[in-house]
Every structure is written in structure tokens, then in C-alpha cells.
Amino acid sequence: NAGVMQNPRHLVRRRGQEARLRCSPVKGHSHVYWYRQLPEEGLKFMVYLQKENIIDESGMPKERFSAEFPKEGPSILRIQQVVRGDSAAYFCASSPSQGANTEAFFGQGTRLTVV
């Protein structure tokens, strides 16, 4: 009965490298959300996906960031050419259906450090 699984838990990248963050939702959940938490800040919404579709990406930076949730496999948040400002904790959440009244279950996060 696993919850939301994120890996890796910690990721160190040099400036200019790519970062790939993976999220396996709760079994049976088809809705995935990515949030970013900067130091001393709350979580900021990035993107909302359903299987094979991006529903809302209003919080995604326009460049270097992309997300996918394929039919099979985990959701991936990809950051190309990372910069120091990308250092943050990235959280994934999943829910069984849509609607803000549906509880979203959060993973433990991936802490990205760009050196």
C-alpha cells in the first residue's frame, strides 16, 4: 500500500546539467501535481497532469522545464541546463480524481541542489 514515491530523494547537479525527477503516484491515481518549495517559502504549483495529458501548466517556467505523465511509468519533471536558482525541494502529489476537494497525497520530495 505504497504512497506517492519520489526519486531520487536528493539530487546534486552542476550548472548546465539536466535534472530528471520521478514520481510514481498512489496506485490507481491518475492525477499528478508538481509543486516547488523554495527555501523559506510555501509550495508553489507548477503543473497538473492526467495520464498522457498536461491539464494546467500555468506555474511552469516558460523555458527549460517540462513534465510528462506517460500511459505507463512514472511522471517525470525535467529541468534542462539547471541554474543555481533551480535549487529547491520538488514535491509531487497524486489524487484519484479531479477537484480541489479531493485529497492530494504528497510524496517526500526531491531536494535538488545545483552547484
Can you tell me the distance from the alpha carbon of 72 to that of 80, in angstroms, rounded to the nearest whole number?
Answer: 23
Quick check: 100 binds other proteins (CB under 8 A)? Answer: yes
- Compute CA 84 distance to the chain's CA centroid, rounded to the nearest angstrom: 18
Residues 35 to 94 in contact with other proteins, rule: CB under 8 A: 35, 40-45, 48, 55-56, 58-59, 91, 93
- Rounded to the nearest whole angstrom, what is the least distance from the CB of residue 114 to other proteins in the complex? 19
- Rounded to the nearest whole angstrom, what is the least distance from the CB of residue 81 to other proteins in the complex? 26
User: Residue 113: which residues within 8 A CB-CB, separation 6 or more?
Assistant: 10, 11, 12, 13, 87
Rounded to 5°, angle at Cα 19 from 96 and 92: 20
Q: Which residues bind other proteins (CB under 8 A)?
A: 4, 6, 31, 33, 35, 40-45, 48, 55-56, 58-59, 91, 93, 95, 98-104, 106-109
